[in-house]
């Protein structure tokens, strides 16, 4: 199968490698040609424009920062649309606005080509290993036809519904996660300030109903407790964008989202501190400052606790 891949950043680069290693005839493009060096060494071909990628591919993937970049690559001069012909498929792996992907879907459909929105979840480690969730929106028959290509990227591809449904699912996931992050940090700093040792508190609460489901793991164990926010697993500026997109969708649907607005304000305040390129969980430091307490566990002690738990 001839696959095109545009956007070879932290996530896209690894996903493109996995499509190549699955045996695809891969053509790549990025605004930085040097990002494709490894892919070209492993047998991929280079295209100078998104249009050229589409012209030589059966399926074109994009992994881009957000709606603005997706629109430019899909619809701009020498964009993907200009290289599409009937039957070809464009799959956007980015976290996108539902309205944007639906508009793109309509424009591509007019020339007989297809669009799937398939945002991913699993972080850089998941992108490397192929352990990613993909939430897919669009025509189900097209999804089934493209399933082998999606399975080369992630192990949990799931058809959600019509165009835009995958984008909605991703926004629900990320918005809920970052809203929960604010609440968890709030409660955890309260507990530490009340006199409970951080490691003991974490070990205690994770045995409860919500703790067993990972709510107290990702942000706390990987970032806040050890105080590690660089290099980013997922940049703060992208988290801010994702929550903002979810709130825009809520406004379109007249859905009150009080806690999510508070979460967005946390992320904006952290961005204004100059932390936009740090890990998104760096926003948790704001609550530490307000609470007047530092929540830290040395990494070696934390590792031993994880091994014995």
Delimit the domains of the chain by residue range. Answer: 2-161, 168-308
Spell out where the chain has E strands.
2-6, 25-29, 45-46, 59-62, 89-92, 114-117, 120-121, 133-137, 156-161
Q: What is the pLDDT of residue 186?
A: 87
Would residue 170 show up in a list of annotated catalytic residues for this protein? yes
pLDDT at 218: 67
Torsion angle of alpha carbons 42, 156, 141, 90, nearest 10°?
A: -40
Q: Judge whether 153 and 44 are in contact, CB under 8 Å.
A: no
CA distance 109 to 129: 33
- In the chain, which stretches have pLDDT less than 70? 213-216, 218, 309
The class level of CATH for 168-308 reads: mainly alpha
Q: pLDDT tens digits for 96-105?
A: 999 999 999 9
Indicate the pTM of the whole model: 0.87
Which residue from 50, 62, 54 is spatially nearest to 111, judged by alpha carbons? Answer: 54
Residue 282 CB neighbours (<10 A) = 24
CATH fold label, 2-161? Rossmann fold (3.40.50)
User: HSE-up of 267 (CA within 13 Å, CB side)?
Assistant: 28
What are the structure tokens assigned to 59, written together?
């399926």
pLDDT of residue 57: 98
Q: What is residue 193's predicted lDDT score, i.e. its pLDDT?
A: 94
Task: Identify the active-site residue in 170, 193, 228, 304.
Answer: 170
pLDDT in the model for residue 125 = 94
Predicted confidence at residue 141, as pLDDT, reads 98
Which structure tokens are listed for 136?
A: 């897919």
């Amino acid at each position: 199968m001839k696959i095109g891949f545009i956007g070879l950043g932290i996530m896209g680069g690894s996903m493109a490698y996995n499509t190549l290693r699955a045996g695809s005839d891969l053509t790549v493009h990025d605004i930085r040609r040097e990002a494709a060096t490894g892919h070209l060494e492993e047998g991929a071909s280079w295209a100078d424009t998104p249009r050229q990628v589409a012209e030589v591919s059966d399926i074109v993937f994009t992994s881009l920062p957000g709606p603005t970049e997706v629109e430019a690559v899909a619809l701009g001069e020498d964009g993907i649309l200009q290289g599409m012909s009937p039957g070809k498929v464009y799959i956007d792996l980015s976290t996108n606005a539902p309205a944007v992907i639906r508009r793109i879907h309509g424009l591509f459909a007019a020339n007989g080509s297809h669009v799937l929105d398939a945002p991913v979840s699993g972080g850089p480690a998941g992108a490397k290993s192929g352990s990613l969730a993909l939430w897919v929106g669009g025509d189900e028959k097209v999804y089934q036809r493209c399933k082998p290509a999606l399975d080369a990227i992630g192990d949990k591809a799931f058809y959600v519904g019509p165009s835009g449904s995958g984008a909605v699912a991703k926004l629900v996931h990320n918005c809920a996660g970052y809203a929960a992050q604010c609440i968890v940090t709030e409660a955890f700093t309260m507990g530490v300030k009340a006199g409970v040792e951080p490691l003991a508190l974490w070990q205690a609460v994770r045995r409860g109903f919500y703790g067993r489901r990972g709510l107290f793991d990702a942000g706390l164990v990987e970032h806040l407790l050890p105080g590690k926010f660089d290099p980013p697993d997922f940049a703060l500026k992208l988290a801010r964008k994702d929550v903002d997109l979810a709130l825009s969708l809520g406004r379109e649907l007249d859905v009150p989202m009080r806690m999510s607005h508070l979460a967005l304000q946390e992320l904006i305040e952290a961005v204004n501190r100059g932390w936009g390129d740090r890990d998104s969980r760096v926003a948790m430091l704001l609550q530490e400052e307000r609470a007047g307490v530092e929540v830290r566990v040395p990494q070696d002690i934390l590792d031993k606790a994880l091994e014995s738990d």
